[in-house]
Amino acid sequence: MSSSDSLDDEQARTLGEATRLILDARATAAGMLADAGIDPGPGDPRNSDGFLGPCTRVLSPGPPLVRCGCNLFSPAGGSDFCVSHYDDHTAPDFGVGPAIRICGHSRESHLSI
């Protein structure tokens, strides 16, 4: 999937709708399994939504473009924004060593289809 930073408004809206559909479908599927007494299997409890993985948002501006460094979507208090911490060796502090940053990206940034 290419960077969502380059999406136009309509594409961004479509992505948002697709995300919502997937999340709804996932919740429905999880409910079905639970109702049937089926264990969906091992998984990271922080990543209970199986479609949400490493953040794919590309950080910009400033070359080189790098992927956001967080590993998994980790909302705080049910927020839609990721609060994962990660080492940022590029922006915005060029040349002054690693900085710890919070992902802060939306749920959509973590969507892998």
For binding to Zn ion (CB under 5 A), which residues are involved?
Answer: 55, 57, 68, 70, 82, 84, 103, 105
- Name the minimum Å distance from CB 96 to Zn ion: 21
- Name the minimum Å distance from CB 84 to Zn ion: 4
Helix (H) / strand (E) containing 101: strand 99-102
CA 110 – CA 54 distance, rounded (Å): 6
- Name the minimum Å distance from CB 91 to Zn ion: 12
CA 31 – CA 49 distance, rounded (Å): 12
Q: Which is nearer to Zn ion, 4 or 84 (CB)?
A: 84
Q: Which is nearer to Zn ion, 22 or 34 (CB)?
A: 22
Q: Which is nearer to Zn ion, 57 or 111 (CB)?
A: 57
Specify burial of residue 39 (Cβ count, 10 A radius: 0-12, 13-18, 19+). exposed
* List of E strands, 19-94: 58-59, 66-67, 85-88
- Name the minimum Å distance from CB 93 to Zn ion: 17
Q: Which is nearer to Zn ion, 30 or 72 (CB)?
A: 72
